[in-house]
């Protein structure tokens, strides 16, 4: 083979190799483009599925919130109107107090008739969200009737704790009708809780957050945000339409926040935290003492009724019977005596510990308002300001719900005292430790460190 032929063959081989390389690069480029296109199409499909799922979820919870808002809100409004009526009737017929033991027998009889041997109260609703425990529908009429009986005959109790049970049981009932799974049932229970709390108390924003915050300290169930917000707002509007009145708390003048006034509020916040612990301990200890010495539910509630009658005549006042809304409002105008908040704890512990039904939240607000009112002149701050800070701080210390407490302060008192309220709430939350009105409440994250602890409250 001569040199020219050899060169021609090499040139031909080089041309073929270049063609092969180009072909391979084209094939790789085509494969890459195809993969990229498929990946883009897959991402687009996934994104569309996510949008579709979000839209359907929004539609589902909007419809559920509308149903809960009107149904639960309407029941809550009727409950509030009934409690207002029986309270007025009791005030004008004070002899009804002597029938409190008989009313107690009726409460125990109702629960026995329904097959409820031991009522867990609000803890039942909290357990339902933690562990899928069912909140039977009969809980709603039982707690409504028994709370009305308690208020009619002069038991010292609130109503918002009952609202959580009513809303939770109805929410659970709707979840069964709609055939929701366990996770959606939990959201529906919280939705009902927010609706009834809002209808009764008139703070829809705080009510929406409370049901998500009270279950587990340190985390929030944000999946329930949309239904809880919508249900609470609808329930509040419907309750007002039906004629439920809202309390007005006059704060009066508020000094500008300074180092001196802020320091005073820190000290007052420390006292609020201590009293919130005593409030929780008082209610829990009373229940334990009743159960330790009196095993029969009928006898226990009768003795509790006679204790309330005795306390009323020992201290020669009816201020601590019922919810005490008038005393709360009065504490914003004049400073209360040092013993007022203590006696409210005693009356409430004797009532609820003995088996009468109602709520713990309004008594907590009573204790906070009267304590703050007493402390105001000592620290040289306005009475209305200290009463307002006391209400939300004792609530926070007893429920471990700082965000709800802050929102409640804004809804009840406006923005003017919010800085003072925030200081008192923060101090009360930190120093109240792991005490709570609700034994089933979980402390997921420590109050003192960014640490997961997952323990029950005291």
Distances in Å between the Cα of 70 and the Cα atoms of 82, 214, 436 are 18, 23, 31
Would you state the structure tokens that stand for residue 90, as one six-digit string? 């009791």
For residue 207, how many other CB atoms are within 10 A of its CB?
33
- Residues 247, 310: contact at Cβ < 8 Å? no
Question: Positive or negative CA dihedral for 139, 142, 147, 148?
Answer: positive
Q: Which of 365, 447, 118 has its CA nearest to residue 127? A: 118
pTM: 0.88
Q: Which of 235, 205, 187 has its CA nearest to residue 69? A: 235
- Residues 113, 177: contact at Cβ < 8 Å? no
Burial 159-194 (b: 16+ CB within 10 A, else e): bbbbbbbbbbbbbbbbbeeeebeeebbbbbbbbbbb
d(CA 200, CA 207): 10
The continuous run of DSSP H or E covering 456 comes out as: strand 452-456
**Rounded to 5 degrees, what are φ and ψ at 216?**
-140, 120
- For every residue of 383-447, which 3-state class applies, written as one string? HHHHHHHHHHHHHHHHHCCHHHHHHHHHHHHCCCCHHHHHHHHHHHHHHCCCCCCCCCCEEEECC
d(CA 226, CA 65): 8
Digits of tens for pLDDT over the chain (458 positions)? 444 444 444 454 444 444 444 445 455 444 455 555 555 666 677 888 888 888 999 999 999 999 999 999 999 999 999 999 999 999 999 999 999 999 999 999 999 998 887 777 787 788 878 777 788 888 899 999 999 999 999 999 988 778 889 999 999 999 999 999 989 999 999 999 999 999 999 999 999 999 999 988 888 889 999 999 999 999 999 999 999 988 889 888 899 999 999 999 999 999 999 999 999 999 999 999 999 999 999 999 999 999 999 999 999 999 999 999 999 999 999 999 999 999 999 999 999 999 999 889 999 999 999 999 999 999 999 999 999 999 999 999 999 999 999 999 999 999 999 999 999 999 999 999 999 999 888 888 899 988 888 888 87
- Name 260's Cβ contacts closer than 8 Å, sequence gap at least 6: none
The pLDDT of residue 41: 60
d(CA 279, CA 339): 14
- Residues 282, 364: contact at Cβ < 8 Å? no
The continuous run of DSSP H or E covering 216 comes out as: strand 216-217
Distances in Å between the Cα of 233 and the Cα atoms of 69, 162, 357 are 7, 19, 27
Domains, the chain, ordered by start: 59-241 (1.10.3080.10), 259-456 (1.10.3080.10)
Would you state the structure tokens that stand for residue 81, as one six-digit string? 């109107």
Q: What angle do CA 439, 329, 253 make, to 5 degrees?
A: 110
Point out which residues pair with 359 in neighbouring strands: 158
The pLDDT of residue 157: 93
For residue 198, how many other CB atoms are within 10 A of its CB?
34
Would you state the structure tokens that stand for residue 61, as one six-digit string? 């919870």
Q: Which of 307, 72, 282, 317 has its CA nearest to residue 196? A: 72
């Amino acid at each position: 083979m001569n040199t020219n032929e050899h060169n021609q063959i090499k040139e031909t081989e080089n041309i073929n190799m270049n063609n092969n390389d180009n072909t391979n690069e084209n094939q790789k480029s085509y494969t890459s483009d195809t993969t990229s296109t498929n990946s883009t199409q897959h991402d687009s499909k996934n994104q569309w599925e996510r949008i579709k799922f979000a839209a359907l979820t929004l539609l589902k919870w909007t419809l559920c919130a509308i149903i809960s808002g009107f149904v639960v809100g309407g029941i809550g409004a009727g409950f509030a109107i009934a409690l207002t009526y029986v309270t007025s009737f009791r005030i004008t017929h004070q002899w009804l107090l002597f029938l409190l033991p008989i009313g107690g027998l009726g409460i125990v009889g109702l629960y026995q008739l329904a097959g409820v041997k031991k009522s867990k109260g609000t803890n039942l609703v909290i357990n339902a969200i933690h562990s899928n425990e069912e909140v039977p529908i009969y809980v709603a009429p039982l707690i409504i009737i028994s709370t009305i009986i308690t208020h009619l005959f002069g038991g010292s109790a609130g109503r918002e704790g009952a609202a959580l049970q009513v809303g939770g049981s109805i929410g659970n009932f709707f979840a069964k009708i709609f055939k929701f799974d366990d996770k959606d049932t939990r959201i529906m229970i919280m939705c009902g809780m927010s609706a009834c709390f809002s209808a009764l108390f008139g703070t829809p924003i705080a009510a929406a957050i409370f049901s998500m915050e009270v279950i587990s300290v340190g985390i929030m169930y944000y999946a329930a945000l949309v239904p809880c917000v919508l249900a609470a707002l609808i329930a509040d509007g419907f309750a007002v339409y039906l004629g439920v009145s809202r309390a007005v708390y006059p704060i009066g003048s508020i000094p500008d926040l300074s180092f001196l006034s802020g320091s005073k509020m820190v000290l007052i916040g420390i006292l609020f935290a201590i009293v919130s612990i005593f409030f929780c301990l008082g209610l829990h200890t009373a229940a334990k003492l009743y159960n330790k010495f009196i095993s029969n539910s009928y006898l226990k509630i009768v003795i509790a009724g006679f204790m309330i009658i005795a306390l009323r005549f020992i201290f020669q006042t009816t201020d601590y019977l019922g919810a005490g809304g008038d005393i709360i409002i009065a504490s914003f105008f004049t400073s209360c005596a040092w013993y007022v908040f203590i006696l409210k704890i005693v009356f409430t512990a004797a009532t609820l510990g003995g088996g009468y039904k109602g709520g713990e939240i309004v008594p907590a607000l009573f204790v906070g308002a009267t304590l703050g009112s007493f402390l105001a002149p000592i620290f040289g701050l306005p009475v209305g300001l200290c009463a307002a800070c006391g209400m939300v701080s004792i609530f926070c210390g007893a429920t471990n719900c700082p965000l709800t407490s802050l929102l409640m302060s804004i809804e009840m008192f406006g923005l003017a005292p919010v800085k003072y309220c925030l200081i008192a709430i923060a101090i009360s939350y930190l120093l109240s430790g792991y005490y709570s009105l609700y034994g089933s409440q979980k402390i997921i994250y420590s109050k003192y460190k960014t640490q997961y602890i997952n323990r029950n409250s005291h």
